Structure 1
Amino acid sequence: MEWLMAKISLRTMSVPERRKFRGVITMGVLGIFALVVFALLPDKSQPVTYGFILGKEWVLLEKWVVDSKSGALLFAVLSVVTALVALGLFTMRKHSRVISLVFGSTFLMSFLCWAAAGKFIPLTGLLQGGLLLSVPLIFGAMAGVLSERSGVINIAIEGQLLAGAFASGVIASLLNNNWWGLLFAPIAGALISLLLAIFAIRYGIDQVVLGFVLNVLVIGLTSFLYKKLLIPYQSEWNSATAFAPIEIPLLSQIPVIGPIFFAQSIIVYLMYIFVTIIHIALFKSRWGLRTRAVGEHPTAAESVGINVNAIRFKNVILAGAIAGLGGAFFTLGAVGSFSKEMTAGKGFIALAALIFGRWSPMGAVAAALIFGFADNLQGLLTIIGTPIPSEFMLMAPYIATIIAVSGFIGKVRAPAADGIPYKRGGGSH
């Protein structure tokens, strides 16, 4: 015991070790909570049915029926055991993301066994819906990565998403061609970013205030045009249809994974491509090295011949284009037509995913997937009925967002020059 206490002494821990230790403690607390609340307190048990077939994929397991109390107990115990394993790894100065994934999965399953007692849970559909709700968040988070890694705070992601949604829906309706709508979506997002780049980089305007102003501008403009054009002339201006899913041969037939990842619209496949390119380019290319340099130490970057503001300007425009493409998902990837303020704050949740993911492309993707899944889960549980009041279920995605930005995950550090205007030859000011 003395050896264990010496290993986990807070006084001797570095900041990263303290953050990891808080994560281990959180796992333990949540595991015990699941054991008590989900497994031990309920006085009755009912069967829970999990469905695994969504379309025409190969059948590995059609459904799984489990006793709610026994299932909650099993997964809660596994959560506690996983937390103990995480503690053991911590004492050996090791850390595994697989452990965190296993804990999250077992805790979630324990919760579902309790919350969905006597109900049917289409598990594959739940995961697929979570991915779909994550798509605009991932595009928005990638826009944030490109912009903030080069030193420009991008609060205007909401406006860029909304502009892309509006442009894609209107152009696709007017030209009766979704591909033209998809082409104009990144252009609309890039135009919003052009305003951000001009005023933030060239004139040094406060980037946070500027971002909010641009969001209000886009919301007001699209709302005005929606009222004056899209409602009275809906058949001409707002009648696009969504892209049909494209099933990739063989891959779409894989049980569970196939319909989730490989039976999606073209926008989702573009998301896979852009995330891969951004991640590789940011850490493996000359452009990525320069981007990270101007975001961390622009003065040093300029000293080796890098045009700091030119890099920032290009990256901000590119970020807007990617966010605009993500906005097209709201129309061409989902319902087809545009509706007033249909992004509903997703740009701000994308910012939270960016922070939660520590300004890393893959970290931001993981965070966006968590938020998207939480959003879809609350919708499903509200429909089927659970012991949790519906008002609390509606709060779930936003609670996850607050947790992400409140420091619960530990102190996070943005790029050192993020949000600081740079004057060539004079340094940051």
Structure 2
Amino acid sequence: MSVIETKDAPGRQDVTVGAGASMRGPVVMLAFGVLSLVLFGLLPDSGGTTTFGISTSSDFVRFDPVELPSKATAIVLSLVALALAAYGALRVRGGRKVPTWVLAAFGAIWVLTFLTWAVTDKSTSLVSLLQGSLLLAVPLAFGALGGLLNERAGVVNIAIEGQLLTGAFGAAVIGSVTGNPYAGLVAAPAFALVIGAMLALFTVKYHVNQIIVGVVLNVFAVGLTSFLFGSVLKDNAAQLNSPPRLETIAIPGLSQIPVLGPVLFRQTIIVYLLYVAVAVIAVALFRTRWGLRVRAVGEYPQAADTVGIDVNRTRWGNVLLGSAVAGLGGAFFTIGSVGAFGEEMTAGKGYIALAAMILGRWSPVGALTAALLFGFADKLQQVLGVLQTPIPNQFMLMLPYIVTIFAVAGLVGRVRGPAAAGEPYVKG
């Protein structure tokens, strides 16, 4: 805790919150806790029940659906959320940060309270909700990982949208021509490298403004893929735009664990690749010499150059690597989900991936967590739309983007990315 003595009142000490501790989180939690108690607990006069399914037919141990009294459950959960907000406020008053588990628990409880209210007199499967959330988070997570690989080396990657789109296009075409979805999975990073190479060429070699180049490349990717779709794929859909989808692979034993098994271990290979990518990138960035050099280039390129690190070569390598990783996320849209390429099918997911990278504080695990949050919001609007809840459908369509804006503006606060991100490096 920092202690400051004021000049106008000798002997008097003003206590301020210690560095790293902020009341932003507890205040936001308190506001949402009160909102939850009033809207979901006190105002509704219905005495209905909410039913949650927590097992599937193939689980090793199966549980019956849980039926809860909607109003009472919402009130109890809201009070628990308020207690967590109060605990967070006490921590900050003591000069300490709010633990991550408190924020995570508050978010989970608040969402469960909302679901209890929204699904009154209806039923929904929590397993299906979580499984769908993970799937929708896959392209966001790959895009965020590609972005942080770029920015850790000092190159801002606004072109994630274009890399996802070209990756999706490449996976669809090659998967269709070969009749093999795994060939499409390999092709997706290669097609995304086209955008990555152009990004590196203009930003690293010719020092063009990185933000402008990223936006232009996104427009270029949309125009190019739309042109090829309209002039080539549409008239030859059976040969060029009908890729087989990736099959679901259930890991024996693990896939039969209740709740977690179907969600985590009954997925396609692209989801398992995401697990591997997060682990490998986290270790490589923070536990290897290569990662130390990359972070040095992103923070202080002049010092890195002084000790013999080729700054521009490192940036080239990371831009290409990040583009390839983002391209894997693009493959999800075609061979992992829809089964065909469509114009502008990424629908702005690249920009949400960029927000996930920022919310995750340029960390692989953090980026994955943020992507899961946005994926959950996307899946939630789909589920509630099907159940015909009292929430207007237009609001549900806006939900993923509202969550994105709120998370970045309301939860991130002041964060500092790599110091040299966005700054071209000229040797000498």
TM over 0.5, shorter chain: yes
The secondary structure found in structure 1 opposite 2:67 is strand
Which of these residues, 400, 408, 416, is aligned with residue 397 of structure 1? 400
Say if 2:253 is the partner of 1:288.
Answer: no
Per mean C-alpha deviation after superposition, the further-off stretch among 104-113 and 58-67 is 58-67
Distance (whole Å) between structure 1 residues aligned to residue 15 and residue 304 of structure 2 = 37
Amino acid in the other structure paired with 2:352 = I
Say if 2:41 is the partner of 1:31.
Answer: no
Distance (whole Å) between structure 2 residues aligned to residue 304 and residue 11 of structure 1 = 43
- Residue pairs, 1:159-238, within 5 angstroms: 159-238=162-241
Q: Deviations over 1:291-345 (max 9, x none)?
A: 1111011001111111111101000000000011111011111122111111111
Structure 2, unmatched stretches of 5+, are 1-12
The secondary structure found in structure 2 opposite 1:65 is strand
Compared with structure 1, are the counterparts of its residues 55 and 278 closer, same or farther at alpha carbon in structure 2 (3 Å cutoff)? farther
8 Å CA contact 1:353–1:404 kept in 2: the answer is no
Distance (whole Å) between structure 2 residues aligned to residue 118 and residue 363 of structure 1 = 36
8 Å CA contact 2:25–2:411 kept in 1: the answer is no
Shift of the alpha carbon at 1:90?
Answer: 2.7
1:13 corresponds in structure 2 to 17
8 Å CA contact 2:162–2:221 kept in 1: the answer is yes
Shift of the alpha carbon at 1:274?
Answer: 0.6
Say if 2:48 is the partner of 1:46.
Answer: yes
2:161 corresponds in structure 1 to 158
Say if 2:373 is the partner of 1:370.
Answer: yes
- Residue pairs, 1:259-278, within 5 angstroms: 259-278=262-281
Shift of the alpha carbon at 1:198?
Answer: 0.5
The secondary structure found in structure 1 opposite 2:59 is coil
8 Å CA contact 1:355–1:404 kept in 2: the answer is no
8 Å CA contact 1:251–1:258 kept in 2: the answer is yes
Q: Deviations over 1:84-140 (max 9, x none)?
A: 222233334253211111111111111111111111111110000000000000000
Which of these residues, 303, 311, 314, is aligned with residue 300 of structure 1? 303
Distance (whole Å) between structure 2 residues aligned to residue 343 and residue 133 of structure 1 = 11
Which of these residues, 94, 97, 100, is aligned with residue 100 of structure 2? 97
Which of these residues, 317, 324, 328, is aligned with residue 331 of structure 2? 328
Distance (whole Å) between structure 1 residues aligned to residue 372 and residue 14 of structure 2 = 32
Shift of the alpha carbon at 1:10?
Answer: 9.5
Distance (whole Å) between structure 2 residues aligned to residue 310 and residue 60 of structure 1 = 54
8 Å CA contact 2:51–2:68 kept in 1: the answer is yes
Give the TM-score taking structure 2 as reference length.
0.94
Distance (whole Å) between structure 2 residues aligned to residue 121 and residue 74 of structure 1 = 20
Distance (whole Å) between structure 1 residues aligned to residue 83 and residue 18 of structure 2 = 26
1:6 corresponds in structure 2 to none
Per mean C-alpha deviation after superposition, the further-off stretch among 42-51 and 158-167 is 42-51
Amino acid in the other structure paired with 1:314 = G
Distance (whole Å) between structure 1 residues aligned to residue 310 and residue 33 of structure 2 = 51
Distance (whole Å) between structure 2 residues aligned to residue 36 and residue 409 of structure 1 = 26
Shift of the alpha carbon at 1:354?
Answer: 0.7
Amino acid in the other structure paired with 1:65 = E
Distance (whole Å) between structure 2 residues aligned to residue 235 and residue 129 of structure 1 = 28
Distance (whole Å) between structure 1 residues aligned to residue 178 and residue 250 of structure 2 = 26
8 Å CA contact 1:155–1:348 kept in 2: the answer is yes
Compared with structure 1, are the counterparts of its residues 405 and 28 closer, same or farther at alpha carbon in structure 2 (3 Å cutoff)? closer
- Residue pairs, 1:327-346, within 5 angstroms: 327-346=330-349
1:85 corresponds in structure 2 to 87
8 Å CA contact 2:17–2:93 kept in 1: the answer is no
Distance (whole Å) between structure 1 residues aligned to residue 165 and residue 179 of structure 2 = 20
Shift of the alpha carbon at 1:11?
Answer: 6.8
Compared with structure 1, are the counterparts of its residues 407 and 88 closer, same or farther at alpha carbon in structure 2 (3 Å cutoff)? closer
Amino acid in the other structure paired with 1:100 = L
Compared with structure 1, are the counterparts of its residues 100 and 226 closer, same or farther at alpha carbon in structure 2 (3 Å cutoff)? same
Amino acid in the other structure paired with 1:253 = Q
Distance (whole Å) between structure 2 residues aligned to residue 165 and residue 408 of structure 1 = 31
Amino acid in the other structure paired with 2:209 = D
Compared with structure 1, are the counterparts of its residues 11 and 403 closer, same or farther at alpha carbon in structure 2 (3 Å cutoff)? farther
Compared with structure 1, are the counterparts of its residues 83 and 407 closer, same or farther at alpha carbon in structure 2 (3 Å cutoff)? closer
Say if 2:354 is the partner of 1:380.
Answer: no
Shift of the alpha carbon at 1:414?
Answer: 1.5
How many residues are aligned here? 415
Amino acid in the other structure paired with 2:389 = T
Which of these residues, 62, 65, 73, is aligned with residue 64 of structure 2? 62
Amino acid in the other structure paired with 1:307 = D
Q: Deviations over 1:345-383 (max 9, x none)?
A: 100000000111111111111111000000100111111
Q: Deviations over 1:170-202 (max 9, x none)?
A: 001011111211111111111210000010000
Amino acid in the other structure paired with 2:310 = N
1:107 corresponds in structure 2 to 110
Distance (whole Å) between structure 2 residues aligned to residue 251 and residue 384 of structure 1 = 30
Compared with structure 1, are the counterparts of its residues 191 and 88 closer, same or farther at alpha carbon in structure 2 (3 Å cutoff)? same
Distance (whole Å) between structure 2 residues aligned to residue 61 and residue 72 of structure 1 = 22
8 Å CA contact 2:152–2:298 kept in 1: the answer is yes
1:248 corresponds in structure 2 to 251
8 Å CA contact 2:179–2:244 kept in 1: the answer is no
The secondary structure found in structure 2 opposite 1:423 is coil
Per mean C-alpha deviation after superposition, the further-off stretch among 329-338 and 152-161 is 329-338
Give the TM-score taking structure 1 as reference length.
0.94
The secondary structure found in structure 1 opposite 2:331 is helix
Distance (whole Å) between structure 2 residues aligned to residue 172 and residue 293 of structure 1 = 39
